[in-house]
Structure 1
Amino acid sequence: MSPRAPRGPATITAVVAAALAAGLLIAPQSASAAEVRIHDIQGSTRISPFADQQVSGVPGTVTAIRAFGSARGFWLQDPHPDRDRATSEGIFVHTGSTTPSVAVGDAVRVSGTVGEHYPGGTGAGLQSVTELTRATWTVESSGNALPAAFALTPSAVPDRYAPAAPGGGSGNSGNIEGLRLRPNSYALDRYESLEGMRVSVKDAPVVGPTSAYHDLWVTAEPGHSRTARDGALYSSYGDPNSGRVKVGSLIPFTQRPFPVADVGDKLTGTTEGPLDYDSFGGYEIQATALGQLADGNLARETTRKQQADELSIATYNVENLSPKTAQTKFDRLASGLVRNLATPDIVTLEEVQDDNGPTNDAVTSAGQTLKKLTDAIAAAGGPAYEWRQIDPADDQDGGQPGGNIRVAFLFNPARVSFTDVAGGDATTPVRVTDDHSKAGLSASPGRIDPANPVWKGSRKPLAGQFSFRGRPVLVIANHFNSKGGDQGLDSRFQPPARRSETQRTGQAGVVNAFVKKLLAVDPSARVVVVGDLNDYQFSPALADLTAGGVLTDLVTALPENERYGYVYNGNSQVLDHILTSRAVRRPDYDIVHINAEFADQSSDHDPQIARVKP
């Protein structure tokens, strides 16, 4: 049962007026002039032509009831559809915190106010949900058959995802609400044309694991763009995987617990219910019938041990780790590092919080956090890792308020040594040094250009110099700014604006420039850039980071269907990276899938590792 945010009717008269003026909507008859049916209310665009108006005696059959939360109500569907594929025959009747006194199968007539609910508010950029509020109704008969569910199949869901609004583009997106729906041409239009109606998927592959909110993602296109482990691969901005749809449940958990599913599992049989639009984005089947979970037996991966002459470098976003985190998470992270990652020589960590976690005070040190993790690693049979890091200035690096997240190095002193050079702190920029044409660092560890505006509210990269078998290796740990504030793939603004991309691209340019300075001193410098870059291998940020050929993004050497380490809204994608300079020989790269595809996670990111011969 997925939660929904409290809501009320939205005033969208201005939106409707603009659409009328542009000729995109036809002014409806007065609601009292003729019988108004659901398809009249829904109209052929995303916005109802009856928005903010009162309607009376709207007929339909009750198909489902939401009897929990603050957004209770029922779905109503007209068993006598019109012939226009663009107009939905279903609608949600919102009753607030009151459970409606209707039953599935009731034929009712409803009166109320037509509203457009924007999950998260209009500023979130999501689609709206047309609904009836302040409703009253009369039950005319009970026990009626429900309209047949529309089957979401590969032939029913177009490959093209969304229309582009006139004048739209990344950073300057246009609103598609006024465009007539073309459900045979665009997936988002297909889903919108089915809003509130009964839909179904059959034998649906799970492409996003069960979340803490009791929902999961499936695909209606099982043959489209799959990963090596049966997820849905997000490989370009042009292909968001149109068949993805979220599944929640209206069935009381006492009757049918929500399935705990991993990627690669399947909901066999039929899953059906009214098609809703979720508060967190994404069209969602509010299931009144759930398929049976078939276990795909997805296994957590284990990488190989590095050879004696190989230096292994891993990166791992440990997701808001602090001493207040449960010991079980520390133990699982430690087990993953020791067993699944085969005790890397160097580990860069992202999202290491300060010693009192989200408590928002002046504490910025993280020694207790890192000690608790390294103790857990030792207890799991791993080496006695040491660490290096720099405490950030309080509340300057983003992340969970009060947490002061930062990047940090762990290293195994039995295999690799750290070259300590004093002088690194939160605000002093590290410089490239030249020692007889050998590149070094003025401070190790040291932060790269921390005062640069591109790092505002974001983590500053940490440079460190290591020595492996007598050879220097320069490692730069990163955690670029998040995608917060970007418009979602299913936004009503198309193409969606990626506003956070500007800052990430600037950050990539700063790191690229620093690497170029290292290589200008010593073209054979062994440089490894790692971390959670919060962006895709095909993004402008990665293009700027690798500009000039100074770095190679190792993920691009993997088979395409293995290029992922994070799952979001049913899309398996790349956010974390390891990049190497030319002098780093024969990199052997592996994304170790132990988290992102599983309902039971120790982090939402998969770690990754590269074994190199410096």
Structure 2
Amino acid sequence: MPSRSSARLAALTVAAVCSAASAVVVTSPAHADSVRVHDIQGTTRISPFAGQKVTDVPGIVTATRTYGSSKGFWLQDPTPDDNPATSEGVFVFTGSTPKVAVGDSVTVTGTVSEYVPGGASSGNQSVTEITKPAITAVSTGNAVPAPVVIDEHSVPDQYTPAGDAAAGGSVDGLALEPSKYALDYYESLEGMNVQVADARVVTGTDPYSELWVTVKPHEHRTPRGGTRYGSYTSQNTGRLQIQSLGSTADFPKANVGDTLAGATTGPLDFNQFGGYTLVASELGTLKSGGLQRETTKKQSRGELAVATYNVENLDPSDATFDQHAAAIVHNLQSPDIVSLEEIQDDNGAKDDGTVDASQTVKKLIDAIVAAGGPKYDWRSIDPVNDQDGGEPGGNIRQVFLFNPQRVSFVDRPGGDSTTAVGVTKVHGKAQLTVSPGRVAPADTAWANSRKPLAGEFAFRGETVFVIANHLNSKGGDQGLTARYQPPVRGSEVQRHAQATLVNAFVKDILHVQRNANVIALGDMNDFEFSDTAKILEGQGELWSAIKSLPRSERYTYDYQGNQQVLDQILISPSIRHADDYTYDSVHINSEFNDQISDHDPQVLRFRP
């Protein structure tokens, strides 16, 4: 009777067929016999053997992936070459549960492919793989090659080279320079066993059991332990996504500022949602950083407090009303005016023609009262069904909440989903033609996007114009790790057109009344340093008040470990130059794994 070990060795000779529907195959005349892993990986992002069959490629199995649609294993050559640009690891795509184990020494015959996560249209880099493999066992129980330690000393400060203009901006054909560029460094480790140690967490764990860490403790660090994104040219090169090869039930529930203490080890992969990712076979131990949710100060009697808060597709079926109410009452200290973004209609994503959102808003107002807050009144305009983007059938829109004990809303009839609000002059002062009203709703800039909601308010005898916005999202833009450098930000085209219309409307108000109090606020879906913000600001008509904060505190959102500004409150000169306003980005969501929205609210306090 054969031994258990020899029986398993016999079972290791397998063949698997994969679908190449998502692969980008580049043919090459290179000779493909008796090559090593580093030959396959080569010195660029595209294998010199792409599209070719390779025979008896040797290596040690370092990890297996037995879940999802990308089943297979990572193979690493224990005898590396002396070229730091060539990776010694590669993923072997089996298409079904692999019949190998960690520590097996095998040889693989198969076809080299360049697989693009998300498809070629995503602009993502490709992953070099061996597909349609035939696997031959050599031995079992071998030591896995020692992991390459990724730390602040090994990762370059420059993020990426500029792409080759002759190749449409692609970096695929450029020779890797791992000592000069961070993305080249990570690419030179693709498929290899790597390790980070005592890494600080820079995102809350997401619903997909993923988090991001930084291996550079001092890189653009925020006071609360995150990593701030402050310009297109100054990237955070130490960020790395962490997933687990094990059970997601055991994945740590981390917040920003926590630490994965000890070693986190596994193969370095590249995926559609984050780029370079350490897929951990060994996870560090979560050590809490003790992060707490912030609370802003209460406005004084003579101050008007105006807030913006994206409540992330809120509809009556959600279980977060009490939490949102507590946040508004306690963390935001019951602002006088709250611009809400992403209020859905009364049946949420059910696409049956419903556009009214009165039940959604009433449920939130009642929850605020129950939490000890004021009984807010509200104004909004229902959108045309399925014309404002967002979740299909959800009909998201902006809503003004206001405390009638502190501030009044000036109602002027006639505003609806298709009628444009205008500006008139009455007794030397600016007035809106309709209130509430929508800004240029018929303009093509708002196609499948939210139209701004304008309202006229009165506070202690002074008029304040508020424009609530939710500009075009960044969906469809290429990621920071794209094969095209710099990445294409296609969503900006529509957002710039929208910002132009908002600025033009503010100009109309200020043309009539130079010293008018105007606030344009909301989810601008762009950074305070972006061209979108510059267009909104115009020639001084507005100014993004988040820039009054220290740079390290300017963020409202956390995306892939980059804490950044998406939500803004822009103010007219009469507010900005009064020198008596205060601004607060109230961090209650973006840094936490149990967030009730993915955005942090913003609060402006000033004396009109």
Does the pair score TM above 0.5? yes
In structure 1, what residue type is equivalent to 2:220?
S
Residue 464 of structure 1 aligns to a residue whose secondary structure is: strand
Q: CA deviation at 1:404?
A: 0.8
Distance between the aligned counterparts of 1:330 and 1:306, measured in 2?
24
Shift in CA distance, 164/7, structure 1 to aligned 2, threshold 3 Å: farther
Paired position in structure 1 for 2:392: 401
Write the mapping of 1:363-402 to structure 2, written as runs, cut at 5 A: 363-402=354-393
Give the drift of 1:70: 2.2
Alignment partner, residue 514 of structure 2: 523
CA distance in 1, matches of 2:184, 2:84: 10
Distance of 1:474 and 1:408 partners within structure 2:
15
**Residues 10, 116 of structure 1: 8 Å contact kept:** no
Is 1:219 paired with 2:210?
A: no
Q: CA deviation at 1:7?
A: 6.5
Listed as ranges, the matches of 1:502-581 within 5 Å are 502-581=493-572
Equivalence for 1:60:
59
1:494 correspondence with 2:493: no
Cα distance per residue 1:209-238 (max 9 Å; x no partner):
101111100011111111111101100001
Contact 2:241–2:274 (Cα < 8 Å) also in 1: no
1:588 equivalent in alignment to 2:582: yes
Judging changes above 3 Å, is the alpha-carbon distance between structure 1 residues 322 and 7 closer, same or farther for their aligned structure 2 residues? farther
2:334 is matched with which residue? 343
> Is residue 2:72 matched to residue 1:73?
yes
* 1:176 maps to 2:188: no
How far off is 1:524 after superposition? 1.1
CA distance in 2, matches of 1:69, 1:393: 39
Partner amino acid, structure 1, of 2:535: D
CA distance in 1, matches of 2:359, 2:330: 23
The alignment status of 1:110 with 2:112, answered yes or no, reads: no
Q: 1:240 deviation in Å?
A: 2.1
SS of the counterpart of 1:332?
helix
Give SS of 2:236's match: coil
Quick check: 2:23–2:119 contact (8 Å CA) kept in 1?
Answer: no
- TM-score w.r.t. the length of structure 1 is 0.94
Deviation, structure 1 residue 425: 0.5
8 Å Cα contact 2:24/2:116 also seen in 1: no
Q: 1:609 and 2:603 equivalent? A: yes
Q: Is the 8 A contact 1:38 1:78 kept in 2?
A: yes
CA distance in 2: counterparts of 1:39 and 1:597, whole angstroms: 39
Q: Which residue of 2 aligns with 1:150?
A: 148
Cα distance change of structure 1 residues 435 and 520 upon mapping to structure 2, 3 Å threshold = same
1:129 corresponds to 2:127:
yes
| Among 275, 278, 283, the residue aligned to 1:285 | 278
1:336-369 CA-to-partner distances (Å, cap 9, x unmatched) read 0000000010000001111111111211111111
User: AA paired with 1:309?
Assistant: G
Between stretches 53-62 and 338-347, larger displacement belongs to 53-62
Q: Which amino acid aligns with 1:90?
A: G
> Gapped runs of 5+ residues in structure 1?
1-5, 18-26
Corresponding residue pairs, total? 588
For 1:179 and 1:324, the matched residues in 2 are separated by 51
Q: Report the secondary structure of 1:208's partner residue.
A: coil
Give me the whole-angstrom Cα distance separating, in 1, the residues matched to 2:22 and 2:553.
43
Deviation at 1:10, TM superposition (A): 4.9
Contact 1:173 1:497 in 2 (8 A): no
Unaligned runs of at least 5 residues, structure 2: 1-17
Q: CA deviation at 1:95?
A: 1.6
* 1:276 partnered with 2:278: no
Residue pair 1:207, 1:264 contacting (<8 A) in 2 also: yes
Deviations 1:131-162 (A, max 9, x none): 11121211211111111111111121111111
Match of 1:187 among 178, 182, 188: 182
CA deviation vs aligned residue, 1:438-494 (integer Å, no higher than 9, x gap): 001000000011111111111100100011111111100000000011111110011
Preserved CA contact (<8 Å) 1:595 1:606? yes
CA distance in 2, matches of 1:372, 1:86: 58
1:369 and 1:146 mapped to 2: Cα distance?
Answer: 56
Partner in structure 2 of residue 302 of structure 1? 295
Q: Which range moved further: 295-304 or 222-231?
A: 222-231
Q: Kindly state the Cα deviation for residue 516 of structure 1 after the two structures are TM-superposed.
A: 0.9
- 1:163 aligned residue: 161
CA 1:517–1:173: 2 relative to 1, 3 Å: farther
Between the aligned partners of 1:16 and 1:433, the Cα distance in structure 2 is 66
1 CA distance for matches of 2:501 and 2:298?
34
1:149–1:272 Cα contact (<8 Å) kept: yes
Q: Which string of whole-angstrom CA distances, capped at 9 and with x for unpartnered residues, describes residues 183-219 of structure 1?
A: 1111111111100001111110001110111110001
- Counting aligned pairs with the same residue, the percent is 56
Deviation at 1:28?
A: 2.1
In the alignment, residue 282 of structure 1 is paired with which amino acid?
G
* 3-state SS in 2 of match to 1:583: helix
- 1:24 aligned partner: none
Mapped partners of 1:236, 1:287: distance in 2 = 30
Task: Specify the SS of the correspondent of 2:94.
Answer: strand
Q: Secondary structure at the match of 1:518?
A: helix
Which of 106, 117, 120 in structure 1 is aligned with 2:118?
Answer: 120
How far is 1:72 from its partner? 1.4
Q: After TM superposition, list the pairs within 5 Å mapping 1:311-330 onto structure 2.
A: 311-326=304-319, 329-330=320-321
Look up the match of 1:203: 198
- Which deviates further from its counterpart, 244-253 or 228-237? 244-253
CA shift for structure 1 position 253: 4.8
State the alpha-carbon separation in 1 of the partners of residues 429 and 43 from structure 2: 67
Distance in 2 between residues matched to 1:278 and 1:167, nearest whole Å = 25
Could you tell me the TM-score, scaled by structure 2's length? 0.95
Residue type of the alignment partner of 2:140: S
CA RMSD of aligned residues (A): 1.4
Aligned to 1:82: 81
Q: How far is 1:16 from its partner?
A: 5.0
The alpha carbon displacement at 1:281 in A equals 2.9
Match of 1:471 in 2: 462
| 8 A contact 1:505–1:544 mirrored in 2 | yes
Which residue matches 2:30? Answer: 28
Check the 8 A contact 2:201/2:255 in 1, yes or no: yes
Change (3 A) 1:78 1:134: same
- Distance across 2 between alignment mates of 1:384 and 1:7: 59
Deviations 1:572-610 (A, max 9, x none): 000000111121232110000000000001100000101
For residues 291 and 513 of structure 2, the distance between their equivalents in structure 1, rounded to whole angstroms, comes to: 45
